[in-house]
Amino acid sequence: MWIFDLAALAAAFCVALSNLIAPNAIQHFGPVVFNCWRLAAALVALALLTTIRGSWTLISPLELLALVTSSLIGIVIGDSAVYAAMYRLGPRRTAVLYATNAPFAAVLGFLVLGEKLPASKVIGIALVVVGVWIAIAYRETEPTAPWEEVRGGLGPGIAFGLTGGFSAALAALITRPIMAAGVDPIAAASVRAAVALVGLVVVARARASGSEGAVSAHMLSRAALSGLLGMAVGMTLVLFARSMRPTGVVTTLASTTPVLLLPLVWLVGRKRPAPQAWLGAALAVAGVAALSGVFV
């Protein structure tokens, strides 16, 4: 089973790299248009792999409906909200905010499915909330990297980040049963990427969301690489891990992105993250682990 745990951890690392690459392209294109470009790149890779493997026929109509629904909620709404948050708060704070998908999933399970909230889950929710608060409240006292600057106030960024976490929780609840039933992870990721791309193009046209900057090879390559890492590789690895491992274990390992981002930010920005940044990220991940039942 270790290979599935490693896949979930590798997904977190891919998402961390994707988040580090994304900010400049998000600021250049705007969140919606950026998401369209990254999805287009991911879709080409995923569809090609699915076709080569001949796994399209393994998806039933009901499974297709579930994938479409999860894509609209998790990618069109959720990812767009995440990138809007990243535009305003930077990748580190956004990654910690995104960890709220685990508390949201626990609360949804309680409200919708009648699942109990034992003490471990209440503690987990508290840890994530405190971790998010530390990550958001802490401000650098020295000049920092451009992608760490707060733009447009904390309020809108926090709202977008929480929306992304909530949407991810809903999408995960929808995809878990069909992945456990044996749907091919790459085919599932292809369907989700295709549906999301169509949805985002419709949204962009309806809102007249044009690029904030001209299309250039450099920015397109950033958006494409972000999509290949975060969507094509990352999402496929998560779905692969979810097919054989408990949701709690996969969620916890895949949620280590905030911690993995810190050494990457240190490496790229040449500035060591402060202890508060490490503490906030660590508390958020510990909270996810408690919520997922890893400590039980």
Q: Determine the average pLDDT of the residues in 209-220.
A: 69
Cβ burial of 270 (10 Å; 0-12, 13-18, 19+) is exposed
Per-residue pLDDT, 33: 85
Instruction: With a cut of 80, say whether residue 247 has pLDDT above it.
Output: no
Half-sphere CA count of 139, side-chain side, radius 13 A: 6
Q: Using one digit for the tens of pLDDT, what is the confidence trace for 64-118?
A: 899 999 999 999 999 889 989 988 888 878 888 888 887 887 787 778 767 777 8
Per-residue pLDDT, 234: 85
pLDDT bin (cut points 50, 70, 90) of residue 167 is: very high
Per-residue pLDDT, 161: 92
Cβ atoms of 206 and 69 within 8 Å: the answer is: no
Per-residue pLDDT, 214: 67
Mean pLDDT estimate for the chain: 81
Instruction: With a cut of 80, say whether residue 209 has pLDDT above it.
Output: no
Per-residue pLDDT, 78: 92
220 vs 146, more confident? 220
Cβ atoms of 19 and 95 within 8 Å: the answer is: yes
Nearest to 87 by CA among 31, 15, 29, 17: 31
Cβ atoms of 5 and 72 within 8 Å: the answer is: no
Half-sphere CA count of 188, side-chain side, radius 13 A: 30
The residue count of the chain comes to: 296
Per-residue pLDDT, 141: 47
Per-residue pLDDT, 286: 85
Nearest to 46 by CA among 182, 192, 189, 200: 189
Q: Report which listed range, 19-23, 258-262, 290-294, is most confident.
A: 19-23
Instruction: With a cut of 90, say whether residue 213 has pLDDT above it.
Output: no
Portion of the chain with pLDDT greater than 90, in percent: 11
Q: Is the dihedral angle over the CA atoms 201, 173, 26, 219 positive or is it negative?
A: negative
Phi, psi angle pair for 276, to nearest 5° = -60, -35
Per-residue pLDDT, 195: 92
Half-sphere CA count of 201, side-chain side, radius 13 A: 10
Q: How many C-beta atoms lie closer than 10 Å to residue 276's C-beta?
A: 14
SS3 per residue for the chain: CHHHHHHHHHHHHHHHHHHHHHHHHHHHHCHHHHHHHHHHHHHHHHHHHHHHHCCHHHCCHHHHHHHHHHHHHHHHHHHHHHHHHHHHHCHHHHHHHHCCHHHHHHHHHHHHCCCCCCHHHHHHHHHHHHHHHHHHHCCCCCCCCHHHCCCCCHHHHHHHHHHHHHHHHHHHHHHHHHHHCCCCHHHHHHHHHHHHHHHHHHHHHHCCCCCCCCCCHHHHHHHHHHHHHHHHHHHHHHHHHHCCCCHHHHHHHHCCHHHHHHHHHHHHHCCCCCHHHHHHHHHHHHHHHHHCCCCC
Q: Determine the average pLDDT of the residues in 214-243.
A: 82
pLDDT bin (cut points 50, 70, 90) of residue 166 is: very high
Per-residue pLDDT, 71: 93
Q: Using one digit for the tens of pLDDT, what is the confidence trace for 130-147?
A: 888 887 766 554 445 555
Per-residue pLDDT, 140: 57
Nearest to 23 by CA among 90, 84, 95: 90
Q: Determine the average pLDDT of the residues in 162-169.
A: 92
Q: Using one digit for the tens of pLDDT, what is the confidence trace for 13-66?
A: 898 899 888 888 888 888 888 888 988 998 888 888 878 877 777 678 888 899
Portion of the chain with pLDDT greater than 70, in percent: 88
Which tokens in the block code for residue 263? 């050494």
162 vs 93, more confident? 162
CA dist 35 and 26 (Å) reads 8
Per-residue pLDDT, 143: 47
Domain ranges of the chain: 2-291
CA dist 208 and 94 (Å) reads 26
Residue type, position 36, single letter: C
Q: Determine the average pLDDT of the residues in 224-232.
A: 86
pTM: 0.78
